Structure 1
Amino acid sequence: MNIAVSTVLALTAGLLLNFLVLVPLIVASYRRSGGFSRTRFLGWVAAGFFFVAIWAYTLFPLPDGAYTCRSPIWNPLDSVTDVIRLQGESSSLLTNRAFLQLALNVVLFVPLGFLARALLGLGILASTAVGFAVSLLVEVTQLTGVFGAFPCAYRFFDTGDLVTNTTGALLGAIVGLLVMGRAHRGAADRLPGELIEVPVEMTLGRRLFAMVADLTMLGLVQILASLTALVLQGVFGVDVSASWTRSLSLVVAFLLQAVSVYAGGVTLGERAVLIRAREAEAVGFMGIIARRTARLLFGIGGFTLLALWEFGGLLQFVLGVTALVFAFRSSEHRGLGQWLAGSRPRAVEREEREARDVVRSRHR
């Protein structure tokens, strides 16, 4: 496999994994902080580039034809030994390949420790643990030949890399603590209260991200179904066709969205970013069901069902474009399904009222 194809495959797979992993993390941050400042948005973009780079670094270059299987390096001090050995051949560390490799492994994970602290608010130990876990995933991927995709490991599993990568994450977490310390100072002194939902302005960004979260959920259900089919086939010998697996995953995804919409008039993606529904008055129970059915079928629910139809791709495209147009052009950034159901999105944020306010409100 030539270098161009290797690069494209690594980056494509990395971008897909990055998308599926980062969206849930962004949702968690959205619910925690109520949105994105420009700084936080740039931080998440930086995190995206970091994980794509790590993914490409793990896989690239892919082997071209026959290759030599690599044995694990279990001694974490081997890299230090190489630095000392090569230093005897050179007077400068800047020309010592082993030292430069060691330093690169440390520097490579500094951004991860910093981002774990700055974006997720993790402590130093937790941020360092995240760095260790990511490094271990990288090394296991290499040890297993990308989890069985290749007959044997084409890159080294190196315990020394685990040490240097984790050290880099630790240094990044310390930097994050120093930079973010002022922003979080005083938070521990606040009295515990209770979470309340406070109405805020409905933004286009929040609306669009809700749509992205819905699509991500659909993709995650399909991936989970495919992995389940592989386990059934590999462990239990049950042969499950790809078409049946895909159809079942789409039905499950539709049912999950249906439960969410019928329960509160909003999709799972909207729930994730704290969007609530202000529904028009409906006559009786059946009126509510009819409006929420329209909300479901002309939104992500209909988009999901169309994937079951052989010729549904064009209609999916039309429905998706229409939903985007409505999100951009309609008042309060309503989607097509919301418009047909007479429903208006209402954005909220969760705030913690101080204990004295909670006590006062309960005694009124």
Structure 2
Amino acid sequence: MSDRLMPAMIAVLLGGLLAIALLVPYVAVSFRRRGQLGIGHVLLAVGALVYGLALVAYVLLPLPDVDADFCTRFARLVEPQLHPFQFVQDIRDQQHGSGLPELVANPALQQVVLNVALFVPLGAFVRYLAGGSVLLTTAIGAAVSLLIELTQLSGIWWIFPCPYRLFDVDDLTANTTGALLGALAGPLLRLVPGQRVSGPPDAPRPVTTGRRLLGMVCDLLAVQLTGALLNGALDVVLLLIGIPSAGPGRPGWLGPVDGALSWWVPGVLLLFVLPQFGGGATVGQRAVLLRPVGLDECDPSRGRRLVRALVGSGGFVVLAGLGGIAGLLATLLVPVTVVAAWHTEGHRGLSGVAAGVGVVDARSRATAGITAGP
């Protein structure tokens, strides 16, 4: 894999993982800021995330091996390039021929163009998503460029004994120019489809199949991420008290504990215990601003909340955690849940039908509009 392709692949991979990890808070913030999600806003947010990671990867990777000859190998990078517009002379020195193809193939020119292009998305995202002015966005681009150059000059703030990337004052000029061009082009991001908002943030929206399923996905992600945090906290505690969390010296009792912390404990807390308080909504439902409501137009009873959890996401977590035939039942429960969320009255889903509970927009005091029938 080439040095230019590897940072892009790393950025896409890490960006995807971070997007999944940040989905629940992003959904919650989006529904409260705009009243809904919107595929266009999601695309822009993921794009900004991947770009930020790519920017870091391109200026730092690949990391070199540190050996006894490290500073000798990178001796030419120890002295920074402090002559403004040195790139003009570099382009002349590396130009072979006078035609357009020869000019395009000039490596010095390619480097300048790449440094400009690298900061165009930064300017566009800051101008459009953060609402900064052209002047402020350009200043932010210059500051980010300076931070990058200082990071390179210091060998990633003295992690490495010598710089392995060149501090070049012309990079500051090119990057700032790119940020300026991006700031000027930022309003064009309005053309990305899926950004139209159907009403003010506090206006209730219809309960749709997609919204119901998004809430369920957020529930399962919240369980998995909470489990990962609990397991990480356990590893830290084990490290502090001198017990190995992996390897031959790992105690046998850690296996069941890991399993409980990664799945059972967060599943019970988030899908069974939490809905018993505050109206009965799960984490995912709170993120998409949905709330359960009974046939009497009041919050569901605790018994109905428990039935709803057992037949819904909580039941899936229990079955999946048991494994074997129960795990197969959990897999079969997924398409049944999707179809039920699509076709049931008011999109209350399989769990709502079993518990006699509907679901409405949390911003509305309206009822779910369901009957007493199945």
- Give the structure 1 partner of residue 20 of structure 2: 19
Instruction: Output one character per residue of 1:164-187: Cα deviation in whole Å (capped at 9) or x when no partner.
Output: 66775565455436877xxxxxxx
CA distance in 1, matches of 2:146, 2:216: 32
Aligned to 2:93, which of 76, 89, 93?
A: 89
CA, structure 1 residues 81+282, in 2 after alignment: closer, same or farther (shift >3 Å)?
A: closer
Task: Give the match's secondary structure for 2:207.
Answer: coil
Alignment map for 1:25-174 (pairs within 5 Å): 25-37=26-38, 41-49=39-47, 51-52=49-50, 55=53, 83-84=87-88, 86-91=90-95, 94-118=104-128, 120-124=129-133, 168=178, 172-173=182-183
Name the residue aligned to 1:346.
Answer: 360
Distance 1:258 1:49, change over 3 A: same
**1:79, 1:17 → 2: CA distance?**
39
- Indicate the residue corresponding to 1:278 in structure 2: 293
In the alignment, what sits opposite 1:184?
Answer: none
Aligned to 1:215: 220
Query: Cα 1:7–1:295, aligned 2, differ >3 Å: closer, same or farther?
Result: same
* 2:19–2:46 Cα contact (<8 Å) kept: yes
Asked if residue 237 in structure 1 is aligned to residue 251 in structure 2, the reply is no
Corresponding residue for 2:314? 301
Q: Is the 8 A contact 2:121 2:182 kept in 1?
A: yes
Distance in 2 (alpha carbons) for counterparts of 1:79 and 1:36: 48
Equivalent residues of 1:86, 1:96 under 8 A apart: no
**1:112: how far off?**
4.4
SS at match of 1:100: helix
> Using a 3 Å threshold, how does the CA distance of structure 1 residues 169 and 84 change in structure 2: closer, same or farther?
closer
Partner-residue secondary structure (3-state), 1:104: helix
CA contact (8 A) 1:34 1:349 kept: no
Instruction: For residue 272 of structure 1, report the CA deviation from its aligned partner.
Output: 0.9
- Give the TM-score of the pair, scaled to structure 1: 0.65
Residue 321 of structure 1: aligned partner: 335
TM superposition shift of 1:342: 1.5
Report the Cα distance in structure 2 between the residues aligned to 1:158 and 1:102, rounded to whole angstroms: 14
* CA distance 1:128–1:62, change in 2 (3 Å): closer
Give 3-state SS (helix, strand or coil) of 2:93's partner.
coil
Aligned residues of 1:132 and 1:165 also touching (Cα < 8 A):
no
Q: What's the offset of the Cα at 1:340?
A: 1.4
Would the alpha carbon gap of residues 296 and 173 (structure 1) be closer, same or farther in structure 2, given more than 3 Å must change? farther
CA 1:79 to 1:315, structure 2 compared with 1: closer, same or farther past 3 Å?
Answer: farther
Give the aligned length.
325
Instruction: Note the residue ranges of structure 1 that are not aligned, 5 or more in a row.
Output: 181-194, 351-364
Out of 251, 257, 266, the position equivalent to 2:281 is: 266
CA contact (8 A) 2:35 2:203 kept: no
* 8 A contact 1:279–1:343 mirrored in 2: yes
CA distance in 2, matches of 1:127, 1:232: 45
Structure 1 residues 295 and 98, CA, compared in 2 at 3 Å: closer, same or farther?
farther
Matching residue's letter, 2:132: G
Find 1:201's aligned residue among 203, 206, 209: 206
Residues 304-330 of structure 1, C-alpha deviation per residue, up to 9 Å, x if partnerless? 333432434323212222221212222
Q: Check if 1:292 corresponds to 2:305.
A: yes
Structure label with greater radius of gyration: 2
Q: Give the counterpart letter for 2:335 in structure 1.
A: V
CA distance in 1, matches of 2:313, 2:83: 52
Distance 1:196 1:315, change over 3 A: same
Q: Tell me how far apart the structure 2 counterparts of residues 279 and 133 of structure 1 sit (CA, whole Å).
A: 53
SS in structure 2 of the partner of residue 276 of structure 1: strand
Partner Cα separation in structure 2 for residue 12 and residue 225 of structure 1: 24
Q: Which runs of 5+ in 2 are unaligned?
A: 96-101, 191-199, 247-253, 365-374
